[in-house]
A and B are shown apart, each in its own frame.
Chain A
Amino acid sequence: MGELLHELGIDWRLLIASLVNFALLFFILKKYAYKPILGMLEKREKMVADSVDQSQKIEQEFRALQERKEQELRGARAEATKIIEEAARKADELKHELVRDAKAEAKKLVAQTKAELVAEREALKASVRDEVADLVVDATEKVLGEKLTAAADRKLVERSLSSVETLPAGRQERV
């Protein structure tokens, strides 16, 4: 066995030397190469993941904002339509009311005018009667040539006039 190992050139001192050599190399590489590179890779990986997350979040927020904007716009549009409809309805109502009022006013005016006309006619009729009475008195005086007492005279005329007044309505119009 020892002969074989010697023939293969195996020497425990060299073996240990190479083990030490490798160990040294391992620790140097670990400290100066692997740690910084792995750390940096990890850091960058995390950064990329973070930024992707963030961009996704921002996009989501943006979409939500847009959605809200749209919703608000839709709401405003609906509101505007409602307001316009309301206004039109009110205007219509107002118009109807005005027309109705005007009609009533006109009717009232016509009635009033008619009443006034009737009153005026009554007054006219009375004044004409008075005038006619006086005239009749005067004429009768002249015709008779004899003056009656004023009172008797008046009584006479009035009696005749009231007979006129009791005439049928159709004839009364013509007075």
Chain B
Amino acid sequence: MEISLAAETVFRIGSFPVTNTLIASVFTALVIGLLAFALGRRKPSLKPRGFQNLMEGIVAWLLGLMDGITGNRQLTKKMFPFVTTIFLFVVISNWIGIFPGFGTIGIREVHQGEEVLVPFFRSVNADLNFTLALAIVSVVATNVLGIVVLGAFKFAGKFFVNPFKNPIGAFVGLLELIGELAKLLSFSFRLFGNIFAGEVLLVVIASLIPYVAPLPFYFLEIFVGFIQAFVFAVLTLVFMRVATVEAEH
């Protein structure tokens, strides 16, 4: 049993390492993209049926949920595509990561004199590259939205305060700036930690008792996968909400 913190490279294109998480993430994106195509292919009808009905229900529920946080339908509509994409990508990739074959099917390679299994697929968020990328996207988008809504000058005023006029404000602004960087770490490590731990847990349990015993842990992972996606999306939404509020002086 080998557990590697980093994702394994399955093959290389030139010097570009194609890792098993990259394969899984492309697969996830394809699944979601195809669903979107299936939805967008037909012109949506005023009297929804079947698939459209389901999707509209989900969207309406999400809109209501987001309204509860933003308290403003206009703002919700601005944030909705971004936050929903994060949520969908994270939850679908987490759930796909539980599929059998993830982490188990692969090729044996010799690394540093040891024979290790290199799986073809690995849960996307069990790779810090992807969670960090999502965190970067989230934080950058939050700040961009803040600039768009408040204007660059007002938004910068949250972080940069004249220390001679308002030394406490200047210090708080500095903390806010550090906070933005801390967000990157908390976002990426929270998701990575949860999903990676889940993967490890499943591998360990399956190696101890291969039958039936891992089942409750699979349920747990389905739940955790949803919750982590939800937390990531809701936190992004909350940070966006905060970024669009003017600083109080």
What is the interface of chain A, defined by CB distance below 8 A to chain B?
6-11, 13-15, 17-19, 21-26, 28-34, 36-41, 43-44, 47
A29-B81, A36-B39 known; 11 new pairs, CB 8 Å cut-off, are A7-B5, A10-B129, A21-B25, A22-B137, A25-B32, A26-B85, A29-B32, A31-B40, A34-B81, A37-B52, A41-B63
List of B residues within 8 angstroms of A30 by Cβ:
81, 85
* Complex contact B129–A14 (CB within 8 A): yes
* Cβ-neighbour of B37 out of A7, A11, A32 (below 8 A): A32
* Complex contact A8–B46 (CB within 8 A): no
* Complex contact B60–A41 (CB within 8 A): yes
Q: Given A9-B127, A19-B137, A40-B46, answer yes or no on A34-B80 (Cβ-Cβ < 8 Å).
A: yes
Query: Of the 9-residue stretches B14-22, B97-105, B221-229, which lies at the interface with chain A?
Result: B14-22
Q: Given A10-B128, A13-B16, A41-B59, answer yes or no on A29-B88 (Cβ-Cβ < 8 Å).
A: yes
Q: Does B7 contact A (CB under 8 A)?
A: yes
List of B residues within 8 angstroms of A25 by Cβ:
29, 32-33, 85, 89
| Docked CA distance A34–B78 (Å) | 11
| Docked CA distance A88–B2 (Å) | 116
- Produce 1/0 per residue, B41-62, CB < 8 A to A: 1011010100010011001100
| Docked CA distance A173–B133 (Å) | 153
Tell me the nearest residue of chain B to A40, going by C-beta. B44
List of B residues within 8 angstroms of A44 by Cβ:
46
List of A residues within 8 angstroms of B130 by Cβ:
14, 18
* Complex contact B129–A9 (CB within 8 A): yes
List of B residues within 8 angstroms of A6 by Cβ:
6
* Complex contact B19–A14 (CB within 8 A): yes
* Complex contact B17–A11 (CB within 8 A): yes
* Complex contact A39–B44 (CB within 8 A): yes
* Complex contact A22–B133 (CB within 8 A): yes
* Complex contact B132–A10 (CB within 8 A): yes
Q: Does B197 contact A (CB under 8 A)?
A: no
| Docked CA distance A15–B59 (Å) | 30
Q: Does B154 contact A (CB under 8 A)?
A: no
Q: Does B239 contact A (CB under 8 A)?
A: no
B contact face: mostly helix, strand, loop, or mixed: helix
List of B residues within 8 angstroms of A18 by Cβ:
22, 25, 129-130, 133-134
List of B residues within 8 angstroms of A38 by Cβ:
59, 77, 80
**Among residues 109 to 168 in chain B, which have CB atoms less than 8 Å away from a CB atom of chain A?**
127-130, 132-134, 136-137
| Docked CA distance A19–B46 (Å) | 36
| Docked CA distance A44–B47 (Å) | 9
> Most chain-A Cβ atoms within 10 A of its Cβ — which of B16, B37, B55, B133?
B133
* Complex contact A19–B136 (CB within 8 A): yes
Q: Does B26 contact A (CB under 8 A)?
A: yes
* Complex contact A21–B40 (CB within 8 A): no
List of B residues within 8 angstroms of A43 by Cβ:
46
Tell me the nearest residue of chain B to A28, going by C-beta. B33
List of B residues within 8 angstroms of A34 by Cβ:
59, 80-81, 84
A58 to chain B, nearest CB (A): 21
A163 to chain B, nearest CB (A): 133
List of A residues within 8 angstroms of B218 by Cβ:
none
* Complex contact A37–B89 (CB within 8 A): no
* Complex contact B128–A8 (CB within 8 A): yes
* Complex contact A37–B5 (CB within 8 A): no
| Docked CA distance A41–B129 (Å) | 36
List of B residues within 8 angstroms of A47 by Cβ:
46
Q: Given A11-B129, A14-B17, A19-B136, answer yes or no on A37-B59 (Cβ-Cβ < 8 Å).
A: yes
* Complex contact A37–B56 (CB within 8 A): yes
| Docked CA distance A39–B36 (Å) | 15
